[in-house]
Amino acid sequence: MSRKSKLVLAITLMVAVLVTGASYVYISELLRQRVTTAHDSAAQLASEMAYLAANAAPDLSSTRVDTSNPAAVRHAIAYYLSTDRDLNNFLDSVVGSWRIVYDAAIVDGDGKAILNTNPDLVGKIVPDRPDFQLVQDASFRRQLRMVYNLPSVYDVRIPLELDGAPFGSVRVGVSTVFLKNELTPRLRQALSFSGIALLLSLMLAAGLSHIALGPLEKISRSLDSVSAGDADAIIAEHEHSHDEYGMVSLKIAHVGRQMRDVKEIFSALKDNVDQIMANLQDGLMLFTRDARVVLVSASVERFLGRPRRQLLGRAVQEIFTPESALGTLVLESFHSHRPVAPREIESPNGKRVLISLDFIQEKGAQIGALMTLRDAESVQRIEDEIETSRRLSASGRLTRGVAHEVKNPINAIVLHLQLLQDKLRQTDPDTRRHIDIIGSEIHRLDRVVQILVDFTRPRDLHLEELDLRRLLEEVALLAAPDAAQHGVTVSTTLPSDPLQVKVDEDLTKQAILNVVINGVQSMPEGGTLTISATRENDTVLTEIRDEGCGIPPELQEKIFELYFTTKKGGSGIGLAQTYQILQWHYGSVDFESVDGQGTTFRLRLPLADVRTNSVEAATARS
């Protein structure tokens, strides 16, 4: 079916739905109005009967009736009503004058008929029938079922008061058979009118939509001509045309000419890009919106082991297969539309490749993707050289610090050994004190040496994936007692979503605790230490903010150096340890401090699903 036929059919169906809906509303309103009229007519009839009954009952105080006897009063009133000529004549004319009325009756309080259009029911109990109000209040479909299903009689009743007291009721029975007989001709007329209106509207809609969409065929032929490169002929044909079709055709021709010019420019640019791609060391693959390759650098051939001509124009599913780790990663990324951060993986030809995949967006819509492939071995060599240089520099700082710290204990040991020798010769009881001092200094020397060993020896990281929020809560609990002694309140501001990282839990907890303890100790007058965490791109950012004295600008470059401290009794180890632990996890730590206003430390760790391979590589190198 052509697009034009589909549009004509859609317009016709829409008009049919509208006309059908209007007909449905019209018929439902017709039925409801007739039911309401029937109810009002029956109610009016009952009111007239009640009025005649009230006039028929005389003042019993002027008769021989014992007004103190309720039974006698009711019997007398019933007698007067049954013998009243006007009331009986009115009842005799009810059924013949009112086409929807089945019967009418005046019933006393016991339910017995005093007067009834059916003489056989006078003096007998009148059976209860459903209230006609049920029909009036029902929905359209329910009203149809009530009227056109099994024949029924519904009552319209009003209470009757005589001689100032409740006496009974006036009941008027409305038959659904009579109502149906009166309603059916009108409904048939309405249905016929609706059917004719529907047929005419369908014909009119089909005709008008066909006329309105007729130029689509001509526009389609114009598009074919533009595709064939004959845009100039269309411009010459419709240049002086001012109707809608001519204007549209002219615009199509201009667009076709512009597309031809753009195509020529694109061809020239593509040649230049191909030259650049041939000289790139990195492998680049550019994908379109539908995941097809449009650009491939020459280096991709050695990464994937396939020539460029076999990759261009193919979909990503035709190039990568789930059997390889690289193929699984790329296919999952395209399926979920999630970028791939740089990570090391094995290519189909067995080479270790550093891959990254980014999706290109414009105004919130994805228009393509760019995949980068790098030789992991060369990248690894560069990283190893940088890591070696950093470790050598750190080892140099450590060695200088240890040499300084070891010198004083050795001097103390020598001095107190001399004193000990003198005391031993004189058998002085203070000899024990010197021995204790020597033990303490030796213990301190052991700690310093142990720190040096810990900072220089390889460290096995026990990596596990965990929610960093839980770790931060545990650190807050650990620091709370010491913070309370300093008058410091530790508060946490954490998001509701998990912050999954892959780290060594104990080392990471120690790194964060070192910063928290420093923050607590920087507030001798008390204050608030705030721990917060958020997701920042592919990392988790943890901020630890204190309200202490801040760090002087001249000391800020030294705070991560081993043994550097400004606190009395401080070891100068904590922040250096934090720096090293964050480096082991491919994270970072920095700070912002204002002298006299406080300091904010920022600790960044990669998310578990982004830097898993990088963290494992760091573990192996450490």
Q: Each residue of 173-194: pLDDT tens digit?
A: 888 888 888 878 877 887 787 7
Q: Which is higher by pLDDT, 52 or 435?
A: 52
pLDDT at 216 over 70: no
Listed in order, strand segments (DSSP E) in 204-298 are 283-287, 293-296
pLDDT at 458 over 60: no
Where exactly are the structural domains of the chain?
3-197, 218-279, 283-372, 379-456, 463-621
Lowest model confidence (mean pLDDT) among 9-13, 122-126, 445-449: 445-449
3-state secondary structure of 503: strand
> What confidence score (pLDDT) does residue 487 get?
92
> What confidence score (pLDDT) does residue 78 get?
76
> What confidence score (pLDDT) does residue 220 get?
64
pLDDT at 498 over 60: yes
Instruction: Report the alpha-carbon distance of residue 378 to residue 554 in Å, rounded.
Output: 39
DSSP assignment, residue 553? G
| Confidence category of residue 415, pLDDT binned at 50, 70, 90 | low
Both tokens of residue 545? 């903010």
In angstroms, what CA-CA distances link 575 with 450, 505, 512? 17, 18, 9
pTM above threshold 0.85: no
DSSP assignment, residue 533? E
pLDDT at 382 over 60: no
pLDDT at 421 over 50: yes
Beta-carbon contacts of residue 618 (< 8 Å; ≥ 6 apart): 461, 584, 585, 586
Both tokens of residue 159? 């209470």
Beta bridge partners of 131: 155
> What confidence score (pLDDT) does residue 466 get?
93
> What confidence score (pLDDT) does residue 615 get?
45
Instruction: Report the alpha-carbon distance of residue 130 to residue 169 in Å, rounded.
Output: 15
> What confidence score (pLDDT) does residue 325 get?
84
3-state secondary structure of 155: strand
| Confidence category of residue 531, pLDDT binned at 50, 70, 90 | very high
Lowest model confidence (mean pLDDT) among 461-475, 507-521, 567-581: 567-581
pLDDT in tens, 317-331: 888 888 888 888 888
pLDDT at 263 over 80: no
On the 0-12 / 13-18 / 19+ scale of CB atoms within 10 A, 520 is: buried
Lowest model confidence (mean pLDDT) among 9-23, 73-87, 178-192, 258-272: 258-272
pLDDT at 540 over 90: yes
C-beta of residue 582 within 8 angstroms of C-beta of residue 606: no
Beta bridge partners of 545: 530, 600
> What confidence score (pLDDT) does residue 562 get?
66
- When pLDDT is averaged across residues 311-322 and rounded to a whole number, the result is 87
Average pLDDT, the chain: 77
Q: Which amino acid is at 67?
A: T
pLDDT in tens, 330-364: 888 888 888 888 888 877 667 778 888 999 888 88
3-state helix/strand/coil string of 351-369: CEEEEEEEEEEECCEEEEE
> What confidence score (pLDDT) does residue 24 get?
80
| Confidence category of residue 279, pLDDT binned at 50, 70, 90 | low
CATH architecture of 463-621: 2-Layer Sandwich (3.30)
Instruction: Name the residue with tokens 């009227």.
Output: 147
> What confidence score (pLDDT) does residue 33 get?
86
Lowest model confidence (mean pLDDT) among 260-264, 367-371, 488-492, 579-583: 260-264
> What confidence score (pLDDT) does residue 321 get?
85
pLDDT at 523 over 80: yes
pLDDT at 544 over 90: yes
C-beta of residue 175 within 8 angstroms of C-beta of residue 151: yes
> What confidence score (pLDDT) does residue 605 get?
93
- When pLDDT is averaged across residues 226-230 and rounded to a whole number, the result is 60
Give, to the nearest 10 degrees, the angle between helix 176-213 and helix 3-56.
160
Instruction: Report the alpha-carbon distance of residue 146 to residue 34 in Å, rounded.
Output: 14
Q: Which is higher by pLDDT, 496 or 595?
A: 496
Q: Which is higher by pLDDT, 407 or 187?
A: 187
pLDDT in tens, 590-604: 899 888 889 999 999
Beta bridge partners of 370: 286, 358
Measuring CA to CA, which residue among 555, 546, 557 is closest to residue 517? 546
- When pLDDT is averaged across residues 17-35 and rounded to a whole number, the result is 82
DSSP assignment, residue 558? G
Lowest model confidence (mean pLDDT) among 396-400, 433-437, 520-524: 396-400
CATH architecture of 283-372: 2-Layer Sandwich (3.30)
| Confidence category of residue 92, pLDDT binned at 50, 70, 90 | confident
Instruction: Report the alpha-carbon distance of residue 185 to residue 440 in Å, rounded.
Output: 116
Beta bridge partners of 504: 463
Q: Which of 80-89, 247-256, 570-579 has the highest mean pLDDT?
A: 80-89
- When pLDDT is averaged across residues 449-477 and rounded to a whole number, the result is 79
> What confidence score (pLDDT) does residue 215 get?
61
Q: Which amino acid is at 95?
A: V
- When pLDDT is averaged across residues 361-381 and rounded to a whole number, the result is 79
